[in-house]
Amino acid sequence: MARWWKENYDAARHRNEMRGEIDDEYQFDVDLTARDNLLRQHVILVEVAQFNFTFLSLRQLEVCLSYFEQKVRPSSRIVGGIGAADHWEVLRWYDRLPPGLISEHKRPKIVKALRAALDQFRNHADYAATRQ
């Protein structure tokens, strides 16, 4: 049974697990704590297939959903090599997923849960107003 919910962002508990390039822009692991204590930032958590996904924005959720919707996933090979960087410095977010999570029999459950969470939070006024 999958479940999803939102929590107030806490830099100590919610890291950016989707570090890497999304929409041709590198997503760093940065602290997104608001400077004003009255403004609340939210994260979306989705628990499915004995794994917890943490999304800092709706766009991250959309990117993850589109990745799991693909039956044949793109190669993780980095064209042109990695130069002077170590392999862990250039790993994309989907390269860091646990191996069992990418299996074909878990994929439909994950897609269903991510799609339901995305549909709910797209229409959730409180979340949409704070992060997009």
Q: What is the mean pLDDT of the chain?
A: 82
In a domain, 80, yes or no: no
Give the phi and the psi of residue 42 in degrees, each rounded to 5.
-125, 155
Range of the domain at 9: 3-74+85-130
CA atoms lying within 13 Å on the CB side of residue 57: 11
Check residue 80 and give its pLDDT. 64
In a domain, 50, yes or no: yes
In a domain, 79, yes or no: no
The total domain count for the chain is 1
When mean pLDDT is compared across 6-15, 44-53, 76-85, the lowest value belongs to 76-85
Helix (H, G, I), strand (E, B) or coil at 52: strand
The rounded percent of the chain whose pLDDT value lies above 70 is 71
In a domain, 39, yes or no: yes
Nearest-angstrom CA–CA distance, 21 and 28? 9
The average pLDDT across 45-63 equals 93
pTM of the model: 0.82
Does residue 130 register a pLDDT over 80? no
In a domain, 37, yes or no: yes
In a domain, 31, yes or no: yes
